[in-house]
Chains A and B, each alone.
Chain A
């Protein structure tokens, strides 16, 4: 079954600490993975996608096919990073985006 798992509902860190939001997926085939961010009361915004291998707002994510993971990392968290983060897998011939349950990141001063 195709599935995205984000094991942590809440991740609480202090400003300047490293952050790793975990994402594991289950998919037969070559996955296309995304991270979306949702700031308080706002729409979901694309943060980054694995195909681009980019760094956005200091965040990076590397696809590890062996561990079926796509963890999101940032070396030094900022208070403005506090938000809900969703990992998503594109499936079904590009017709379906399967989301994880989300992880709330809280960065404290």
Chain B
């Protein structure tokens, strides 16, 4: 089954404790992206990657890092989380051709205390 898998689904942690949210897709998609979803703001792109070792900032990259060492994986790293990063995070992937939709993971709800 084609899917985008995120882990963990839920995490409560404290300010400053590094954390990583993993994202994996099994569709051999070139393009992957991270979004955060906040009430009244919709989804905002954090980082995206066009292929292995190719990443770039989205609209709200501050406080986040990503890496793309393998095509299927695109982890989101919070080196020093802060309470304003409490949010619902979605990973998405898409084939790199015109008119292809993004496929989303189930989401990861992060609470930073």
Partner-B contacts on A (CB < 8 A):
6, 9, 32, 34, 36, 42-46, 49, 51, 86, 94-102
A45 to B90, CA, bound (A): 12
| CB neighbours of B103 from chain A (8 A) | 46
Smallest beta-carbon distance A67→chain B, Å: 21
Complex Cα distance, B41 from A100, in Å, reads 8
B96 in contact with A94 (CB, 8 Å): yes
Which residue in chain B gives the minimum CB-CB distance to A32? B99
B101 touches A99 (CB 8 A): no
Q: Top 4 nearest A-B pairs by Cβ distance?
A: A99-B42, A99-B43, A101-B42, A44-B104
Cβ of A18 to closest chain B Cβ, rounded Å: 24
The answer to whether A44 touches B90 (Cβ under 8 A) is yes
> Which residue on chain B has the smallest CB distance to residue A51?
B99
Q: Is B44 interfacial (CB-CB < 8 Å)?
A: yes
**Which of B45, B96, B104, B107 contacts A96, CB < 8 Å?**
B45
- CB within 8 Å of A: which of B24-82? 31, 33, 35, 40-45, 48, 50, 56, 58-59
Contact B101 A46 (CB under 8 A): yes
CB neighbours (8 Å) of B56 from chain A are 95
New A-B pairs, 18, CB < 8 Å, besides A46-B101, A101-B42:
A32-B98, A32-B99, A42-B106, A43-B90, A43-B104, A43-B107, A46-B103, A94-B96, A94-B98, A95-B48, A95-B56, A97-B43, A97-B92, A97-B102, A98-B45, A99-B44, A101-B41, A102-B42
